[in-house]
Amino acid sequence: MKRVLFLIFFLHVAIFAQKLEISDFQTDVYSKSGKVALKKVNLSMIVIGRYVEDESYKIIDALNVVIGSYFAEDLFTSKGKESLKKGLISYTSKKYSIDIDDVYIQKFYMVKFPKVDKIVEALRKEGCCGVGYEPPNRHLKSVPNRLPNLQNKDDDTIIID
């Protein structure tokens, strides 16, 4: 009898559970390294619960609020990731009355912007900025200066023609 009740309860939950995939979610979070240092993070996750697909805009809003309350360095620890999951579940439950059963993080990394030197090096490897490279239209002669003709007189006055 207990097995039958458990099976009925499990099927009821499984029927109403939905899966929401949030892919390539990018946002800025504060860093501990400086006064106004922002770090860009990229996150992909799966959220399982009742009516999560229908209420996806509320869940993304909640994710923005919750992830903004952490420092970037804290998010990348295992405790930080678990805290993010629990915070998202509790915030959506309190604010929007959405029941989230599980949150699975698929990808989570900090977006790093390459330095100019690395970009130039990559371009040189491709052959577009190497030694001896001339960009298109480089063979044209320089355009004459379009400034008015200036003449100096003896009394240090300048006359413009």
pLDDT 10s digits, 110-149:
988 766 777 777 777 777 765 555 555 555 555 555 555 5
Q: Taking each helix axis from N to C terminus, what angle separates 56-67 and 78-96, rounded to the nearest 10 degrees?
A: 130
Tens of pLDDT, residue by residue over 23-59, are 999 999 998 887 668 889 999 999 999 999 999 999 9
**Domain ranges, ordered by start, for the chain:** 2-111, 116-160
Whole-prediction pTM: 0.63
Q: Please name which of 22, 20, 2, 4 lies closest in space to residue 12, comparing C-alpha atoms.
A: 4
DSSP 75-144: HTSHHHHHHHHHHHHHHHHHHH---EEEEEEEEEEEE-PPPHHHHHHHHHHHTSSSTT---TTTTSPPPP
**The CATH number of 2-111 is which of 3.30.70.1290, 3.40.47.10, 3.30.479.30, 3.30.1490.20?**
3.30.479.30
Cβ atoms of residues 19 and 47 within 8 Å:
yes
